[in-house]
Structures are given as structure tokens and as C-alpha cells.
Structure 1
Amino acid sequence: MTIAPRDLLRRMFDAAIAAAQPARCVPACLPEPPKGRLVVIGAGKASGAMARAVEDHWPGALSGLVVTRYGYKVPCERIEIMEAAHPVPDAAGLIAAKRIQKLVSDLTADDLVLCLISGGGSALLALPLDGVTLEDKQAVNRALLRSGATISEMNCVRRHLSAVKGGRLAAACAPAKVVTLLLSDVPGDNPMDIASGPTAADPTTCADALAILQRYAITVPRTVLEVLESGRGESVKPGDPRLAGCQTRMIATPQMALDAAAAVARAAGYPVHILSDRIEGEARDVGSVLAGIALQVAGRGQPFTAPCVLLSGGETTVTVRGSGRGGRNVEFLLSLGIALNGQPGIHAIAGDTDGVDGLEEIAGAHLGPDSLSRAWELGVKPKDRLADNDGHGFFETLGDSVVTGPTLTNVNDFRAILIER
């Protein structure tokens, strides 16, 4: 039976999310039991589900605390799950970070800390350095989110304003051993960029963080400048002896999600081409570039022949200039649709695998050959909506939003373009 393009694209998105579920990824990566205690800590949108997977498969005693996004809590018996705000931190994240820091403050060399880290941990694990307030961190976060900075640049700044990121949490665990299970949501899967690297050594500096703020003309509170200019915000560097007992295990990545989606498409008879798992840049620019590739495939059979599916992942950015709600996946799709201009036979889906695109409880959207014509019939002007950063409003009006609810995982953006013969 032939699968409708829209249905196939959604099955591919669902397969990408399923491939990164902690229940599937965590058990095989658990460490050997220690001589002493096992303390479980963590932060991120997937940390609650990761904690549950640990409980379900750990053979001995354990205790601990992890913090996840509001709505992402799962029932656990021995590991406490706290919830906090994302992407802008709140007081609940501050309390959770203080409690986690205290949990690891009196460990011995016989103890083991199992740290469960996933995307979103930068905001959820919110413990500013002395002299920096939560309000200061919130202001910096909001400015970074609107600036167009890459995730690596944003996390560089965050690491140098935090009492737990940039390797500081691992340093606080010494002399205990630390095993970190990472669920990657960043292009390149660099541990120091996943949740701003609470257990990873950080080669970047306060000067690097200052340069990023200057590059994007971000005005920050005077207290933040003092921390960076004085060097007081310097993070834990490679070779620090406190990190000698640390191990990192990557349990799920964007590439794994793309591979799972590709298998679904191939089973339906479509050749698949994975373009990249680490595409960055302005979402609207990525949309127009991928539209150009799709049109070349459809019209000239280059660099691939139709029918086929083009897959990509990574993390684009949106520099918010309008009054819309942002959302990098819907901005990508709207730009893609404008550039395709109703080209027959090209369908697409884009969404964030955590179920939240930007600040919205919407994962992303579908795009079809008729999306623009349907919008015009409703009096909606696609280019005006793009200029206003209102991709969510555009696709909601068409009834084409993709809503998953909390997915309990996060391997970043997912984009699929299906080109029919």
C-alpha cells in the first residue's frame, strides 16, 4: 500500500524520536557498580526518562536527583525528579542546582557519580557564580536566544557565568569517579556544548565569552562584565586533576535519529540522502538553500534523482526582528516553502525532537506543494509572516502544525524533504 507523503514524513519524524528514547539507549551504557555508593545526578529534557531507565536496569542501591523541563517528569522511586523552566532559567532550576551540588560534596574515591546529561541542561541547571544573580542570567539568556548566536557560542557564554557548568560539577564530585551519559542535541556532539558541559573540561576562556557578546552587540548587566573581564568566570580546563576519574559515554546522537528515519523511508521504497547532521546558520537561509537543492533534484536530476528523500539535522538559529514567536523549524519550513513556490511533488517536515520549537509547545510543521496557495486563499501572506518571524502562526492557520507533546528526549532538529518523481 502506498503511503501518502505527509504520513510517511510523520512516520520518519516519529522514528527519529523513538531512536533516541532513553529506555532504548541507557541500559547498554551503564557502568559497573562501584565499591561505595552510586549517586545519580543530571539535567536536561531527557534526564527524567534517563533516570527511570537507570532505575529499571541498575542491580543495586542508588539515590540521586535530576532536573528536567516542566511537563517532562516521569515517575521514579529512588531518584528524585525536579522540574524547572526552559529555555530561560527560573528559581526552581537554581534550587535544583544547589541541591545537586550538595549531593556530591562529600563523596569518597569508592563512590561513583552517574551524571545524566541531555539538551536543555544549560537552562535547567541554573547556578550563577557569586556576584551574578538569577535575574542577570535570565537577561543574558533572553538576549542570546534573540541574537542569532550559535548554540556553541551561547553555551560558551553560559559556561563562564555558572558555578556548575564548564566542568565545575565534575570537579565538585572529586575524588569520586564520574561517568556521564550524554544524549547529544548539538552539532558535532561536543561534550562541552551539551548542557554547557557540567562534567566536561572547557578549553574556551572568559575572553572568548566576551568576544561573543561583542560580536552580537549584546548588552549585559555590569556584574556579568565584571565576572568575564576579571577572569573570575574561568572554567575547568583540560588536564585538571579533579577530572582525572571522569568518563563520558555518548548514548544517542542526531546521526542515530537520521539513520532511523532513513530506514523508514527506504522501507517505503524511497532512496535516502543524509545531507548532514550538523547544519547551522539562520533558519531562513538554510530553507532557501535546501529549496535550491530540492528544485535541482526535481528539475534536473542532480545531484540525486527523484524520487528521493533528503534528510538533515543540526541546530539553526533565528534572529528575531519581528513580533512573531520565532521557532527555527517553522521558520526554516516557511522559507523553504517560499523558495519552492508551490513546486509540485515536494513535501517536507521539520521539527525539534524534544517537541518544542522555540518557545512553543509545538514541535514543528508540515509543508506541502499547496501550502502557499492555501495561505493566500485565507488572506495570509507568507513573506510577511516570514519577515515577522511568525512561522508558528502561519502553519497554525493552515492546520499543519506538528504537535507531539513531551517526547522525553532531545537530539535536536529534524528536517526531511520528500521529492516525488
Structure 2
Amino acid sequence: MTAPVPDPQRQPREFLETLYRAAVRRALPLHNTAAFLPPPPRRESGGRTLVLGAGKAAGAMAQAVEALWPADAPLSGLVVTRYHHTPPRPAGLAQRIEVVEAAHPVPDAAGLDAARRMLALAQGLTEDDLVLCLISGGGSALLTLPAEGLTLADKQRINQALLDSGAAIDEMNCVRKHLSRIKGGRLAAACFPARVVTLAISDVPGDDPSVIASGPTVPDGTTCADALRILDRYRIEVPAPVRAALHAGQLETPKPGDAVFAGHAVHLVATPRQSLQAAAEAARAAGVQAHILSDEMEGESREVGKVHAALARAVARHGQPFARPCVILSGGETTVTVRRPSADGPRGRGGRAGEFCLGLAQALQGQPGVWALAADTDGIDGVEDNAGAVVAPDTLARARAAGLRITDALDRNDAYGFFSALGDLVVTGPTHTNVNDFRALLIL
């Protein structure tokens, strides 16, 4: 039975946390996978079912498949997830799919080994075989296999530079696809001629399967020239031989219409919009109107926070464009352009959700009656141990009393330090899913 939703007037923070949990619950793999599973290969064909996958939700997705797959049908495979993101195994559930862990958001040797092993498992497949590919956000870093001429150290440096640059997720993944031997449809090519069914949890604006985890099993419509333009736009260096290979089109990815994708299927088992709708339903159950702005918001996190603040102030002061009380929901994937630390201060800690909250709190200026929660649905905001943070009408007043300046936190990208000192971090631990940013503003 679902617990009652807290009273938003008396328990605004608990109310917002309940909406967040409703959004996460809607995206859990076990709740969404059954409708998309294909039947096992016919016994008389001799075909087998191989499971391959990568992402923050890959461990939970693998468990969902194990729980739902016929007990008498052969099943094996390998997936890679982020360190500490393998969910506890339910009692009595036999493990048939190996789960390994690797680093995110900057790849490491464990992810490199997992990618190599997956390509090895794909060797020798036939048209009678079925490959289930379980893909979720985070797979780009977790499934790393550098292109010819690149080392793991090169990929780590390039990946960190992309993360710090403020590039949008589709831009980052365009580069990642062209500097990889497994992403951008290349895993599907390695599985040919087997049938491939991809089950994906979307963490990207627009739910484009070719962008989710850099699309290892789907055609890629971007080009080497696109990747070069992105590298140049953000002034990211790559080794000269690799730049030359990109110029020559030698690192091109499989394109739409390629025969390696014949008969393949892609299913989105969970999306950001579905999770926002679940949160909206929870709010309405408590008698509060809910409005979903968009599940595709992008841009600098702090600037998106300021835009949300302007809307919240209009509602609080003028009852426009929405009547109070109400909840405003949004999702997507914002970005943080990391400021380089000055000589007299350390680099800040925090992620997109925390930086959104900094920009929001600064622009709200203590507006009465406005509360907000922003968190990543995977439970980890950037590389810290929190999912996000909460903003209250007294956030700035409490910060001043504690000797904190919000402008300093923004200058250092130090959302974690700021909200930790106020006791306003949202800490959930890994949720075992990932439909990206979740933001909820409560206007009373």
C-alpha cells in the first residue's frame, strides 16, 4: 500500500521528497520491463539468449530480466554498472547474468575490461540467437573502449574536459561515439547476425535512443565532422593521429539503413516524462495542482534555476500563470560549466541539481511560500553522495547566519558545501534507475 502524501502546508520538505520518490518508483526496471521482453528463441532452433548492457540502472535491469525470464529458458550475459549501484539480490532469485562495476563519470580500467569482454561474448552469434541489450544513462562512461590511437588515459582526459565544458549531452555523446570501438551502433554490429532487442531507460532530453549511453546498439546519424566541430567549439584536444582520422572519416559509425540493424527492436521501458507524471499524480492526490513544464530542459543549471525562480515568484505574488497552491515540475539534463578554482580556494563540490538550487535560491531572494527540491533520479548528484538539495524560504537567511555567501558557492561550483552546511542535502543512496533531472517547486 502506498503511504499517504504528507501535508504540503505543514511538511513541505517531506511533501517534495515524496514526489521525488514517486518519480523514482515509476522508473524502476522491475515495474516496467515485462511488457517489452521478447519470447526466448525456439528450443528446436538451438538459439541462445545473451544479455549485454551498461548504465547506472544496468544491475537492476538485469535482475528484472532474471525475475521475468522463463526459468527453463537459457539465459546468460554480462552488464556493467557504476560502483555501488548493484542492487541487493532478492532472496531466491538465481543469478544468470554477471554484473560488474566500473567508474562513472570518468571511465576506468574496469569499464574497459567489461567492454572488451562484451565484444568477445558477441563473437560467433548466429541468426538463431537473441541478444537483449539493457541500456541506461551512464553507459557512455561505463562502456569504454577507446578508438585506435587513443589510450584509456586519453579517454579519461577528454571525458573530463567534456564534463567541465558545459557541453550538452548530445554533443558529449557525439564525440564519445566517434572515439569508441563499441558505442555508436558498434556493439550491434559485433552481434550481427543475431537479433538484437534493446531495452532502454531514457535519461536524455527527447528520449533519442542514439543518445542514451551513446547508443551502442542503434544507428548513429552524427558524423566525424560533427565530432570535430564539437571538439573545436569547446577547445578540447585529441591526439594528432586521431584528429586526422576524424578528418578523413576513418572513425565513422554505422548509419541508419545499415544491414547490421535489420530486424532489431528498441523499446523505452522508462522515460523522464513518465516519472514527472507520476510525481504530478502524487501531488494531485494530496489536493495540490501540478504542472509539468517540460521533461527536456537543457542549459546552464544556475540559469535554469533563475528561470524557475522567476516563474515561482510570479505565481507567489500574482497567482499567474498558475493559481496557488501548486507544484511546478520539470526534468531534462542541465549542464554545469566548471569554474577553475582560484589560487586561494579549493575546487567546489556538487552537481547539476545542487547548482540549480544555488541559482534558484539566489534569484528567489527568500520569497515567502516557495519551497523546492532538485535531485538526480539516480540518487547521485555528480560525484557526491547526495541526490540533490532543498531550497526553503529561509535558505538565504540561514546561510547568512552561518557565514555563507551564495555568490561564493556559485563562483566555486560548491553546491555540496553550501547545502551540507545548512542540512539541506537530499541523500537517498543509489536508486538503481536513472531518468535524469527531477525538479519540483511548491508554491503555497
- TM-score interval, normalised by the smaller of the two chains: over 0.9
Deviation at 1:2, TM superposition (A): 2.9
CA contact (8 A) 1:344 1:369 kept: yes
Q: Please say if 1:351 is aligned against 2:375.
A: yes
Amino acid at match of 2:30: A
Equivalences for 1:90-105 in 2 at 5 Å?
90-105=108-123
- Give deviations 1:175-194, integer Å, cap 9, x for gaps: 10000000000000000100
Out of 384, 394, 416, the position equivalent to 2:440 is: 416
Provide the rounded CA distance (Å) in 1 between the counterparts of 2:205 and 2:257.
Answer: 24
Verify: 1:212 aligned to 2:227, yes or no: no
Q: Given that residues 207 and 228 in structure 1 are in contact (C-alpha distance below 8 angstroms), is that contact kept between their aligned partners in structure 2?
A: yes
Counterpart residue number, 1:23: 30
Measure the CA separation in 1 of the matches of 2:262 and 2:386: 41
Q: Helix, strand or coil for the counterpart of 1:349?
A: strand
The aligned counterpart of 1:12 is 19
Please name the residue that 1:39 is paired with. Answer: 50
State the 1:28 CA deviation: 1.8
Q: 1:195-230: per-residue Cα shift (whole Å, max 9, x none)?
A: 000011001101000101111122233343233223
**Counterpart amino acid of residue 111 in structure 1:** D
SS at match of 1:350: strand
2:43 corresponds to 1:68: no
Displacement of 1:47 in angstroms is 0.6
- 1:187 is matched with which residue? 205
- Other structure's SS at 1:192 match: coil
Q: Which amino acid aligns with 1:187?
A: P
Partner Cα distance (1:46, 1:73) in 2: 8
Contact 1:349/1:415 (<8 A) preserved: yes
Residue number among 255, 264, 269 corresponding to 1:237 in the alignment: 255
Distance 1:414 1:163 in 2: 32
Code of the residue aligned with 2:36 in structure 1: it is C
Determine if the alignment matches structure 1 residue 200 to structure 2 residue 205.
Answer: no
Partner Cα distance (1:308, 1:150) in 2: 30
| Partner Cα separation in structure 2 for residue 227 and residue 164 of structure 1 | 17
Contact conserved, 1:160 with 1:233, CA < 8 A, in 2? yes
Task: Tell me how far apart the structure 1 counterparts of residues 165 and 362 of structure 2 sit (CA, whole Å).
Answer: 24
- 1:400-411 matched pairs, under 5 angstroms: 400-411=424-435
2:31 partner letter:
R
In the TM superposition, what is the alpha-carbon distance from 1:246 to its structure 2 partner?
1.1
Q: TM-score under structure 1 normalisation?
A: 0.98
Query: What is the CA deviation profile of residues 45-92 of structure 1, one whole-angstrom value per residue up to 9, with x for unaligned ones?
Result: 001110011011101111100000000124461110010000000000
TM-score, normalised via structure 2 length: 0.93
User: Secondary structure of the residue that 1:186 maps to in structure 2?
Assistant: coil
Q: Distance in 2 between matches of 1:301 and 1:398?
A: 30
* Structure 2 equivalent of residue 375 of structure 1: 399
TM-superposed CA distance for 1:261, in Å, is 0.6
Q: Are 1:221 and 2:221 counterparts?
A: no
Contact 1:272 1:311 in 2 (8 A): yes
Q: Which moved more, 1:354-363 or 1:190-199?
A: 354-363
What amino acid is the match of 1:410?
N
The CA deviation string for residues 272-302 of structure 1, in whole angstroms up to 9 with x for no partner, is 1000000000001101111001111111111
Assess, with a 3 A threshold, how the Cα gap between structure 1 residues 223 and 139 changes in structure 2: closer, same or farther.
Answer: farther
Distance in 2 of aligned mates of 1:222 and 1:381: 44
Q: Distance in 1 between matches of 2:220 and 2:19?
A: 35
User: In 2, distance between residues paired with 1:164 and 1:238?
Assistant: 17
Aligned residue among 318, 332, 347 for 2:356: 332
Cα pair 1:346 1:417 within 8 Å, conserved: yes
Q: Is the 8 A contact 1:39 1:63 kept in 2?
A: yes
Moved over 3 A (4+): none
Q: Alignment identity in percent?
A: 61
1:368 partner amino acid:
A
Cα distance in 1 between the residues matched to 2:36 and 2:421: 44
| Structure 2 unaligned residues grouped into runs of 5+ | 1-5, 342-346
2:7 to 2, 12, 34: 2
Taking the aligned partners of 2:162 and 2:350, their CA distance within structure 1 comes to 14
Matches of 2:383 and 2:86, distance apart in 1: 19
| Conserved? CA contact 1:139–1:220, under 8 Å | no
Query: 1:287 maps to which residue?
Result: 305
1:298 is matched with 316
Distance in 1, matches of 2:374 and 2:242, equals 36
Alignment of 1:274 with 2:292, yes or no, is yes
